[in-house]
Amino acid sequence: MKNINMMAVVLAAGLLGAGIATSGYFISSTIYKSNIGINTAEAKGLAERRVTSNRANWEISFNVNAGANVVIKNLYARFEDHQKIIIDELKKAGFSDDEITIGAADYYGRVFRDDNQQIVDRSYSLTGLVSIATTNVPLVAKARVNVGKLIAQGISLDNRSPTYQFTNLNAIKPEMLKEATENARIAAATFAENVGAKVGGIRSARQGGFNITDAGAEYGDRNKIEKNVRVVTTVTFYIEN
């Protein structure tokens, strides 16, 4: 018992003093425990993946304007013409009707007054929105360039930045959890070997949440096609001498 307790002290010091990454693949924060004669070590294992988004959402807003003498019917006809040009460009790029959603027209009227609050002018506008939701992610970047060129045809539009999502997390969860658990075991074993002990079976394990961020970013998961997926597991192992 005296030898076991001495090993516990040495092992505890070694494990508590190390919170390091090995080969860049896992982190560890390993703590030695002794509970009613049971020697255990707790380690955190990290698994990471670089993945490509499988869904994209993109919005294009546009508007047509007219002055005081506008005929609303004619303004709306211009609105529909511009809407059709945008949609035709999207279909030419390869998007289907199912991927394109057309929003309702929003009508705005403005009144301009002089210092005496007399009306001196009026303006009217119609604003529309075309939305794209697609799994053909690579198509979006090319289509955005072509839609932007419609400005040269006199179409006033806001070619908004797309957002990207990775929704196939369930497909990679099992392998990532397995890898994180194995890395936790490597961390615990590395420290235990330094004092002549070895790692036994798993006593308990806790899974952290999966975290998805844009590649190269600390937070945020909407702006880049490439994403980082990360999970940390906390595993308690039996320690044998």
Q: How far apart are CA 91 and CA 170, in angstroms?
A: 32
Residue 8's H or E segment, with its range, is helix 2-16
Write down how long the chain is.
241
How would you write 42-102 as a 3-class SS string?
EEEEEEEEEEECCEEEEEEEEEEEECCCCCHHHHHHHHHHHHHHHHHHHHHHCCCHHHEEE
Phi-psi region of 161 (alpha: psi -120 to 50; beta: other; left: phi over 0): beta
State the burial class of residue 213 (Cβ atoms within 10 Å of its Cβ: 0-12, 13-18, 19+).
Answer: middle
What is the per-residue pLDDT for 18? Answer: 40
What is the per-residue pLDDT for 117? Answer: 78
What is the per-residue pLDDT for 27? Answer: 46
What is the per-residue pLDDT for 17? Answer: 37
What is the per-residue pLDDT for 38? Answer: 61
Query: What stretches in the chain show pLDDT beneath 50?
Result: 1-29, 35-36
End-to-end CA distance of the chain: 11
What is the per-residue pLDDT for 4? Answer: 40
Q: What is the CA radius of gyration of the chain?
A: 30
Residue 134's H or E segment, with its range, is strand 119-134
| Domains assigned to the chain | 2-52+167-240 (3.30.110.170), 55-165 (3.30.70)
The single-letter DSSP state of residue 217 is -
Q: How far apart are CA 53 and CA 30, in angstroms?
A: 34
Token pair of 196 as six digits: 């002549």
Question: Residues 208, 234: contact at Cβ < 8 Å?
Answer: yes
Q: What are phi and psi of 87, to 5 degrees?
A: -65, -40
pTM of the model: 0.77
